[in-house]
Amino acid sequence: MTTKGTVKGIIANLVTVAVDGPVAQNEICYISLDGTRLMAEVIKVTGDNVFVQVFESTRGLKVGNLVEFTGHMLEVTLGPGLLSRNYDGLQNDLDKLTGVFLKRGEYNFPLDEEKLWAFKPLAKVGDKVQAASWLGEVDENHQSHKIMVPFVMQGEYTIKSIVAAGEYKIKDTIAVITDEEGNDHNINMIQKWPVKKAITAYTEKPRPFKLLETGVRIIDTLNPIVEGGTGFIPGAFGTGKTVLQHAISKQAEADIVIMAACGERANEVVEIFMEFPKLEDPHTGRKLMERTIIIANTSNMPVASREASVYTAMTIAEYYRSMGLRVLLMADSTSRWAQALREMSNRMEELPGQDAFPMDLSAIIGTFYSRAGYVYLNNGSTGSITFIGTVSPAGGNLKEPVTEGTKKAARCFYALEQSRADRKRYPAVNPIESYSKYIEYPEFEDYINTKVEGNWIKKVNEMKTLLQRGKEVQEQINILGDDGVPVNYHETFWKSEVIDFVILQQDAFDKVDAVCPLERQEFMLNLVMDICKHDYDFDNFLNVMDYFKKIINICKQMNYSEFHSEQFEKYLKELKTVLAEKQIKTEK
Amino acid sequence: MATKAFQKIYTKITAITKATCSLKADGIGNDELATIDGKLAQVVKIMGNDITLQVFEGTEGIPTNAEVIFLGKTPSLKVSDQLAGRFFNAFGSPIDGGPEVEGVEVEIGGPSVNPVRRKQPSELIATGIAGIDLNNTLVSGQKIPFFADPNQPYNQVMANVALRAEADKIILGGMGLTNDDYLYFKNVFNNAGVLDRIVSFVNTTENPPVERLLIPDMALTAAEYFAVEKNEKVLVLLTDMTLYADALAIVSNRMDQIPSKDSMPGSLYSDLAKIYEKAVQFPEGGSITIIAVTTLSGGDITHAIPDNTGYITEGQLYLRYDSDIGKVIVDPFRSLSRLKQLVAGKKTREDHPQVMNAAVRLYADAANAKTKLENGFDLTDYDERSLAFAKDYSDKILAIDVNINTTQMLDIAWELFAKHFKPEEVNIRQSLVEKYWKQTSYE
């Protein structure tokens, strides 16, 4: 028998319920109100009083309204047909909702129950299987979607029967498996999983080492992220967080991209809705939308489901990782999620931590980031979830709790800087403060040295040193004046400007420059480093600036031209002529 | 509010604070309205039969035996075409001496638009002000505030934008407006002969501050009526949102909530987002565009109000007094319209995005040169030229008294480039330079 209750108190979306039976922490319940049912989650229990956060507006709710508990936590439904869909934070299919405005209490089934999928068995009768074992596959948008033994099933099972290749609906039984006690279990193509628990059906989680190419130079070349890695992008508003995040999601070499728009602007989500069905995946040539799932819980949608949305997204990511796929999960922004936690903690009158955030904020963030990773599955294949979250630091101050908490959890740090954004140096990633921990992993160094070229890391580090040096010299020039420093100080500064303009800056709105494949990044890095390694013949500082501006201009034109096109080669030739004018022959 | 015979009247208030009253009552819905001694109040907390109400006007003079009548509804507005041309207070009652509006009663602060039903904004809103149209192009369905110091002419610029924007309806939500500014708006709209396109909801500094909390929802409910039912292009002006947020802080403080940054309630972001996200382009052609004002204290944008606003809105506009030309300009560094790329170079000439960025970059070079000058260093020839460019650019493009179309703006920018720089100094794609570089170089 399920537990029932009645509403006793209401403060905004925190509702107190008197219950007549057992309830579990995080259990889902429904509150009846004028013919609709509002979904809510248990967040605190004291005696017979249960505190629930309602995922909807509580307007008009009264004391005495009936509450029904479901006996399970917040779950998502996993199965073929998730790709290309737009869900809200509770996995309602937004396209299936009627009307222009969202109606409260309207929930729907997230998949298509009628669609026929071409199923091919991968296992045979008599095989021993366990949770997450692949029983068969269907083709979902040209990717192999594995039908697995549900993650909730513990222990070992034997396949008693499995259907032949053919077309089936998601609720058709495709296999019967027998447990150790001899009980039979029917398996269809869908399963459910509580979002707040990690899916751990894999054997090992090694350190990640494979580069995840994003086509963004300042990431791939300077601060690479890896398959199964974690990163975060903090930045005040207007520094280009969303543009950078969209660029990564469009260009990254991933099989599946899940975007959790968590408490951000609705028009930004609309931009994805409009663009992704048209844009092509640069790696496969298919439409971007075919590999994408969007979880949209924009800032005007209910706060409590904002918190749920990141977990919903992560659970779907874990599901696809278990199929041996490379998943990229982006959450914009994790600060809004933290604020949702703060609002609830505040209403429950918990003692606040810094900036009124809950005390365990940092632990919650850490646990969430740790669900990403590169894994060896039970059958020896690999899968990965790369997670990149944005952080919207209050007042642009990186010392605030969400940024600090995330810094402990994420391995890549892409600090967006206001002053770079003000000077329109996009992407406004600060090249000196940002870092990727992966670049220090010997596994990564081995990998990248074979994938790109030997000594790659060494070259990148040399470039970083030049940038650092350029910054120091610039400060000295600012203090001492242009003619208060030796001419070669100007040369050092302008070399760092060449790196800045040609490698770091990238025009996300230019068709050619937006995506820079690794091969091209390698070419440009070598070209620029070659420019920087030479000495030049200048008699005064004025010439230095003019000369390097000319070089920057030619290199920028190269960035705007198709790689190795006629135009590109023309500019390259021009560059060589200009370099020959001033370059002193001996290389440093 | 007339008392109806069948309504139960409560007369025993158990607690009174500066903004709230509590009493025991049954069968009360969350967010429901009531009158206490004739003053409008709203349910904010229910605990068993203990009901706490927020009294909009404040609780001065309310006795413990005041008559409390629950109205069985949440705040609402009667919507119809009769709203046009009218002035209302925060409760939606006329303040212009005219009759009550007849129409359908709609709850204010209604549900959000399903994101998949939104259309991507794509219509340019031309204001003639180059600091906006060239550098920070506005698009219908956008939400954008002016971040301004209290002494800046933001209300004037906003009124200009509203009049030139060719909207079907302009809805003014005035919060803590001084009586003078209220009359200013009234006069401007009246003189322009557009009063029939205006709907105003006004809370002046003479009205109780907590009443302000209803203004944005009132204005946006009216906006939704015209945009959804009539497919009109609606422009909503909200001034001043800082005073709105201050009212939120007052209420949250009176309710003993733990304040977060800058004494603001922890829910400030969600509260503001609920308002600003009403900006939308509907597929049927109607749209709601929100232009708001957030006044800053001492230019500090890290304060919780402008900070949270900046994360919600699609850009922000800054005004600044430029002493070199003696005019107020739209600051090109800090201003930003996030939706500009949806129209720049698409609805405007192809060179728009690159010209815009190049000009701002060169203006930044001038700012560096200025720092050098102030520190007593010698300027290079390039520094001198960028300073001269900055002055021209400020006067002909950034000043708020400019009123030209975008093609003229682009032509002027190219002229200024040619006057002060060499083509390789502007860093623009070669094909565009070849096409638009003015031959009349001053070199």
> Which residue of A38, A51, A93, A100 to mutate against B (max B Cβ within 10 Å)?
A100
Top-level CATH class of B9-70?
Answer: mainly beta
- Greater model confidence, B251 or A256: A256
The span from the CA of A549 to the CA of A555, in Å, is 10
**CA closest to B52 among chain A residues:** A11
Chain B residues in contact with A64 by the CB 8 A cut-off are 27
Average pLDDT over residues A266-283: 89
Q: What is the ipTM of this complex?
A: 0.87
Mean pLDDT of A433-457: 93
CA Rg, chain A, in Å? 27
Which stretches of A179-229 are assigned E, i.e. beta strand? 184-187, 191-194
Residues of chain B with CATH 2.40.10.170: 9-70
Chain A residue at shortest CA distance from B139 = A267
Using one digit for the tens of pLDDT, what is the confidence trace for A7-20?
A: 999 988 899 999 99
Q: Are strands A256-262 and A292-297 parallel, antiparallel or unpaired?
A: parallel
| Chain-chain contact of A58 with B302 (C-beta, under 8 angstroms) | no
pLDDT digits (tens, 9 = 90+) for A84-101: 999 999 999 999 998 899
pLDDT in tens, B234-246: 999 999 999 999 9
pLDDT at A12: 86
**pLDDT tens digits for range A222-235:** 999 999 999 999 99
**Tens-place pLDDT, residues B168-185:** 999 999 999 999 999 999
Contact criterion met (CB < 8 Å) for A63 and B117: no
> How far is A331 from chain B, CA to nearest CA, in Å?
15
A195-222: average pLDDT: 95
B117–chain A nearest CA distance, Å = 6
Chosen for mutation from B123, B270, B305, B361 (greatest number of chain A CBs closer than 10 Å) is B270
Confidence of residue B341 (pLDDT cuts 50, 70, 90): confident
C-alpha dihedral sign at B199, B205, B209, B211: negative
Q: If contacts are CB pairs under 8 Å, which of residues 165-224 in chain B contact chain A?
A: none
pLDDT for res A586: 63
Average pLDDT over residues A153-163: 96
pLDDT of B5 over the 70 cut: no
Q: Scanning every residue of chain B, which has its alpha carbon at the shortest distance from the alpha carbon of A474? A: B368
Is there a contact between B116 and A95 if contact means CB atoms under 8 Å apart? Answer: yes
A280-294, A355-369, B6-20: range with lowest mean pLDDT? B6-20
pLDDT of residue A1: 67
Q: Which of A342-356, B1-15, B336-350 has the lowest mean pLDDT?
A: B1-15
Asked if B269's CB is within 8 angstroms of A299's CB, the reply is: yes
**Strand arrangement, sheet containing A134-140:** A143-148, A134-140, A117-121, A166-168
Tokens for A140? Answer: 């979902």
Instruction: Select the residue from A237, A348, A361, A549 to test the B interface by mutation, using most B Cβ atoms within 10 A.
Output: A237
Joined together, the tokens standing for residue A463 give 């470039």
Judged by a CB distance cut-off of 8 A, whether residue B270 touches chain A is yes
The two three-digit tokens of residue B272, written as one number: 């503001």
In this predicted structure, the answer to whether residue B440 has a pLDDT above a threshold of 80 is no
Residue in this structure with the two tokens 């060499």, named with its chain if needed:
B422
Task: Please judge whether B427 and A556 are an interchain contact, meaning their C-beta atoms are less than 8 angstroms apart.
Answer: yes
Kindly indicate the confidence band of residue B443, based on its pLDDT and cuts at 50, 70 and 90: very low
Q: Is 2.40.50.100 the CATH number for A117-189? A: yes
Shortest distance between the Cα of A265 and any Cα of chain B, in A, equals 6
Q: What is the DSSP letter of A261?
A: E
pLDDT in tens, B384-426: 999 999 999 999 999 999 999 999 999 999 999 999 999 888 8
**Topology of the domain covering A456-587:** 1.10.1140
To the nearest whole number, what is the mean pLDDT of chain A? Answer: 93
Token pair for A588: 């440093």
Q: Which two tokens stand for residue A90?
A: 């509770």
Pick the CATH number of A217-424 from 3.40.1010.10, 3.40.50.300, 3.40.50.360, 3.40.190.10: 3.40.50.300
- Residues 445..504 of A with a Cβ closer than 8 Å to B: which? 478, 481-483, 501
Q: Which residue of A has its CA nearest to B267?
A: A343
Please name the residue ranges forming H helices in B284-401.
Answer: 304-312, 352-374, 381-393
pLDDT at B3: 46
**By percentage, how much of chain A surpasses pLDDT 90?**
79
- What pLDDT band is residue B372 in, cutting at 50, 70 and 90? confident
What is the architecture, at CATH level 2, of domain A4-73?
Answer: Beta Barrel (2.40)
Residue B120 has its nearest CB partner, among A60, A61, A270, at: A270
Task: Report, in this order, helix, strand and coil percent for chain A, each rounded to 5.
Answer: 35, 25, 40
Chain B nearest CA to A44, separation (Å):
16
CA distance B242 to B247: 9
Angle CA A237–B155–B396, to nearest 5: 75
Angle, helices B215-224/B241-254, rounded to nearest 10 degrees: 120
Record: contact A394-B304, CB cut-off 8 A: yes
The answer for B 386-415 residues in CB contact with A (under 8 A) is none
CATH topology of domain B76-107+140-313: Rossmann fold (3.40.50)
Residue A397's pLDDT is: 86
Give me the pLDDT at residue B442, please: 47
- C-alpha distances in Å from residue A183, one per residue of A136, A156, A177: 21, 12, 8
Question: Percent of chain B, pLDDT > 90?
Answer: 74
Could you give the residue range(s) of every CATH 3.40.50.12240 domain in chain B?
Answer: 76-107+140-313
Domain ranges of chain A: 4-73, 117-189, 217-424, 456-587
Contact status, residue B89 vs residue B203, Cβ threshold 8 Å: yes
Tell whether B116 lies on the interface with A, counting CB pairs under 8 A.
Answer: yes
The number of C-beta contacts closer than 8 angstroms across A and B is 207
CB–CB of B113 and A395 under 8 A? no
Query: Residue B1's pLDDT is what?
Result: 43
